[in-house]
Amino acid sequence: MLTTTIDLDAIAHNTRTLRAQTQAQLMCVVKADAYNHGVERCVPVMEANGADAFGVATFAEARRVRALTGKPVLAWLWDPAEQIPEGVDVGVPSLEHLRALIDVPSAPTIYLKVDTGMHRSGIDEQRWQEAFELALVAQKQGRCEVAGLMTHLSCADDPSDPYTDQQATAFRRAIAQARQVGLRVERNHAANSAATWTRPDLHFDMVRPGLSLYGLEPVVGLDHGLRPAMTWSAPVVTVKPMRAGEATSYARTWQAPEDGFSAVIPVGYADGVQRSWQGALEVEIGGRSYPQVGRVSMDQVVIWLGANEAGVAPGDTAVLFGDATALAARAGTINYEVVCAPRGRTTRTYIGEGK
Is 153 within 8 Å of 159 (Cβ atoms)?
no
Question: Does 200 lie in the same domain as 89?
Answer: yes
How many domains is the chain partitioned into structurally? Answer: 2
Question: Does 237 lie in the same domain as 210?
Answer: no
Question: Does 178 lie in the same domain as 66?
Answer: yes
Domain of 288: which CATH number?
Answer: 2.40.37.10
| Burial of 3: CB neighbours in 10 Å, binned 0-12, 13-18, 19+ | middle
Please check whether residue 220 lies inside any domain of the structure.
no
Residue 332: per-residue pLDDT? 95
Question: Does 259 lie in the same domain as 203?
Answer: no
Residue 15: per-residue pLDDT? 98
Please check whether residue 219 lies inside any domain of the structure.
no
Last residue of a domain, one of 185, 214, 243: 214
Please check whether residue 269 lies inside any domain of the structure.
yes
Residue 275: per-residue pLDDT? 94
pTM: 0.96
Phi, psi of 336 (to 5 degrees): -55, -50
Cα diameter, the chain: 79
Residue 105: per-residue pLDDT? 82
Question: Does 297 lie in the same domain as 260?
Answer: yes
Please check whether residue 163 lies inside any domain of the structure.
yes
Please check whether residue 246 lies inside any domain of the structure.
yes
User: What is the residue-level pLDDT of the chain in tens, covering all 355 positions?
Assistant: 899 999 999 999 999 999 999 999 999 999 999 999 999 999 999 999 999 999 999 999 999 999 999 999 999 999 999 999 999 999 999 999 999 998 888 889 999 999 999 999 999 999 999 999 999 999 999 999 999 999 999 999 999 999 999 999 999 999 999 999 999 999 999 999 999 999 999 999 999 999 999 999 999 899 999 999 999 999 999 999 999 999 999 999 999 999 999 999 999 999 999 999 999 999 999 999 999 999 999 999 999 999 999 999 999 999 999 999 999 999 999 999 999 999 999 999 999 999 8
Question: Does 176 lie in the same domain as 130?
Answer: yes
Residue 106: per-residue pLDDT? 83
| Catalytic residue positions, numbered | 31, 250
Is 261 within 8 Å of 307 (Cβ atoms)?
yes
Please check whether residue 266 lies inside any domain of the structure.
yes
Question: Does 338 lie in the same domain as 282?
Answer: yes
Strand (E) or helix (H) holding 8: helix 8-19
Residue 246 lies in domain? 230-351
Helices H / strands E in the chain, number of each? 10, 18
Question: Does 208 lie in the same domain as 235?
Answer: no
Please check whether residue 134 lies inside any domain of the structure.
yes
- Measure the N-to-C terminal CA separation of the chain; round to a whole number of Å: 28
Please check whether residue 221 lies inside any domain of the structure.
no
Is 116 within 8 Å of 154 (Cβ atoms)?
no
Q: What is the rounded distance in angstroms from the CA atom of residue 129 to the CA atom of residue 99?
A: 14
